Structure formats: C-alpha cells, structure tokens
Amino acid sequence: MTMTREELDAHAWRWVVRMDASGWTAAEEAELETWLAADPKRRGALLEAESMWIAMNGSDDSAANDDTADFARPGLRASWMSRRSLLAGGGAALAASIAGGVLFVRAGSVYGTDVGEIRRVPLADGSTAAINTASRIDIRLTKTKRLVRLDEGEVWFQVAKDRSRPFVVEAGRVRAQALGTAFAVRRRANGADVLVTEGVVEAWADGADGNKIRLTAGQRAFIADNAAITSAPSAPASLDRTLAWRSGRVDFNNDPIAEAVTEFNRYNRRKLVILNPAIGNERFDGVFRTDDPDGFAMAVRDSLGVSVDLSNPDEIRIGEPR
C-alpha cells in the first residue's frame, strides 16, 4: 500500500514512540523490518522521526538512580503530552534528517541488518558501532557496564573511554573487552575473529578467563569456542582491507577467487557461482563495491579469459563450459 507523505510520517512517529515506550524486543524488530521492507521511503521517514525525537525530548531525572537507565538515548523519555502531541501532528513538524543510515540505539535494543545492508549506530556514551551485512546485535548499556551481544555477523566498534563501565562484546562463548579503542568482532560457526584497529583489546572464551590474548592496533586473532587461540602477525594494511566493508567495499589482494566469491555472496542475494573448481584456486586483486557482483564477475572474465553468464536473475555463473 502506497502512503501519502503525511501517513508515512505518522506511521514513522508511531514506531519511534513504541521503541521508547517499552523494552524493544526481537519480535518488534522483525515487525519493524517487515514494515520498512514494504517501501524504500519508509526507512528515510523513520530516520527523520528518530532524529527529531532525540532533538525534541528532555531527560528524565527519575531514571538517574536506575542501573538500567537509558544511556543510549538519554533524552528519549518524553512526557505523555509530548508523545500525544507528536502523534497528533502526524510528523508534519519534521525538520531534521540523518544521512548514511544512522540510527541512535537505546539500552536493551536488538538491531539487525539485512543482506547487503550496513548500518551505523551511534551510542550516547560516544561510542559507535558499524554493523555489517546480515548481522544481529543486542545492546545493553547501564551505569556499571556496556554489553553488546553479537548473535550473528560482524560489527566494528569505536569505543568511547569510560573506565567505570567496561565495554564487552559477547559472540557465542567468545568475549572481547576494551575501555577506549576501536576493534571488530566477526562471529564464526566455532568461535569469533577479533581485529584491533586502535588501542588494546583483551579476548578470551567464556570459562577460560586464564587464557586471554592481548591484542594491540594492527593485530587480529581467532578465538575458538573451545578456548584455543590463533593469532596472526601484525598487518594494519590487511586489517584495512578486511574492514573495507565499512565504506561499502570489498578489497582483495592476491586472494583465491573462491574466497572472494564467498565474501561477495555475504552481501548479495544474487549469488556468484564458480562452475570450474580450478578457477576458484586462481589469485585475484581488486577493489569493488559490495553491491557489484556483476563488476567482479566481469573483472574475473577479463583477467582469466573465462566465460560469465549473467542471464540468471538469481546467480552469476563463472566458468560456463563452452
């Protein structure tokens, strides 16, 4: 159903009020995503409503002594009169906008990204989370701690310094803690990758606190659920390529084409398919947009002289037999 601008704004405001009125659940997040998916304009309307809501509301001093106070959106506890007035206005007073898909997260929020979506999430403590494709996180901010549970996917964090509230990421059994730093965590089937771009991070498996690894800028490690740790040599340039997704790119440097295809397929519903296994072993260099599997396939064609079939809307076939 196509909505008028006024109807769209009114619905967006109702979603914002629902997010503020009670604990945000995974079911509500799924309901919201269904609503957003029905019309590309809805996401922009929601972003505008979020921005205005944050700008217009004052703080609630009654929450100051609550350990679960809403640190991520400190000004979101509006009076009933303010809420009713905003809803009655149908969003007509919207005057602010947010660029680049940025949302402000409140305590106890569950957020997910669809395939190919990258979402930036600023927190009121000054931290920022960049959520990669097909990822899901649960954020809990209190007076004594900052906890992020990574259920699936990958997130990069720019952590604001606050020694009184440790910043901890949980990815299955893997734990990564920082006080003021920048690092990424990617959940795998049997553990998690931890990459540090700034500062220092400690990582370990839950129940194996005595077996921690201390990572500094430029370092990375894989922490397995069974507490085994595999570290890699310091290579800042390699980390930059791995985290190129933050700007919507994938960056390959002498990588096997099979691995490049796997990486591309994380971001696209139309999948790349290698028909000749020998092609997958070939090495490849290049920088591409995450949403351009066609361009990648054509580059492989030109580089290796192999065939590419773009006729199927669901997949791109590389190395079609002649």
Kindly report the CATH number assigned to the domain that includes residue 279: 3.55.50.30
**67 and 190 in a common domain:** no
Q: Is residue 152 part of a domain?
A: yes
Q: Is residue 181 part of a domain?
A: yes
- Predicted pLDDT at 108: 59
Beta bridge partners of 138: 110, 149
3-state DSSP assignment of residue 315: strand
**Using an 8 Å Cβ cutoff, are 76 and 43 in contact?**
no
**Mean of the pLDDT values across residues 79-99?**
35
**269 and 223 in a common domain:** no
pLDDT per residue as tens digits for the range 127-137: 889 999 999 99
Q: Is residue 237 part of a domain?
A: yes
**Using an 8 Å Cβ cutoff, are 53 and 98 in contact?**
no
**Mean of the pLDDT values across residues 71-96?**
35
Q: Is residue 40 part of a domain?
A: yes
- Using the 3D structure, point to which of 70, 98, 126 is the last residue of a domain: 98
Please state which of the ranges 62-71, 102-111, 153-162 shows the lowest mean pLDDT.
Answer: 62-71
**226 and 138 in a common domain:** yes
- Please enumerate in sequence order all residues whose Cβ is within 8 A of that of 99, keeping only pairs 6 or more positions apart, or say none: none
Q: Is residue 103 part of a domain?
A: no
**184 and 237 in a common domain:** yes
Joined together, the tokens standing for residue 274 give 């290698």
- Using the 3D structure, point to which of 37, 68, 98 is the last residue of a domain: 98
Is pTM beyond 0.85 here? no
**Using an 8 Å Cβ cutoff, are 194 and 221 in contact?**
yes
Q: Is residue 86 part of a domain?
A: yes
Phi, psi of 219 (to 5 degrees): -105, 160
Higher pLDDT, 77 or 218: 218
If you compute the radius of gyration of the chain from its CA atoms, what whole number of angstroms results? 22
**228 and 150 in a common domain:** yes
List strand residue ranges (DSSP E) for the chain, in order. Answer: 109-112, 119-122, 128-131, 136-141, 146-152, 154-158, 167-171, 174-178, 182-188, 191-198, 200-205, 213-216, 220-224, 229-232, 249-256, 271-274, 283-289, 308-309, 315-318
**210 and 90 in a common domain:** no
**148 and 37 in a common domain:** no
Distance of CA 120 to the CA centre of its chain: 7
**Mean of the pLDDT values across residues 243-260?**
95
pLDDT per residue as tens digits for the range 275-299: 999 999 999 999 999 999 999 999 9
Q: Residue 64: pLDDT band by 50, 70, 90 thresholds?
A: very low
**Using an 8 Å Cβ cutoff, are 110 and 24 in contact?**
yes
Range among 44-53, 100-109, 122-131 with highest mean pLDDT value: 122-131
Joined together, the tokens standing for residue 174 give 């893997």
Which residues span the domain enclosing 69? 1-98
**115 and 239 in a common domain:** yes
Joined together, the tokens standing for residue 136 give 């899901």
**123 and 168 in a common domain:** yes
Tally the domains of the chain.
3
**141 and 233 in a common domain:** yes
**185 and 123 in a common domain:** yes
**208 and 90 in a common domain:** no
Q: Is residue 204 part of a domain?
A: yes
Joined together, the tokens standing for residue 105 give 């997260």
Report DSSP letters for 62-111, one per residue. GGTT-TT---SSTT----HHHHHHHHHHTTTT------SSB----TTEEE
Please state which of the ranges 42-46, 47-51, 261-265, 300-304 shows the lowest mean pLDDT.
Answer: 47-51
Kindly report the CATH number assigned to the domain that includes residue 141: 2.60.120.1440
Mean confidence (pLDDT) of the chain? 80
- Using the 3D structure, point to which of 35, 70, 98 is the last residue of a domain: 98
Q: Is residue 94 part of a domain?
A: yes
| Burial (Cβ within 10 Å: 0-12, 13-18, ≥19) of residue 184 | buried
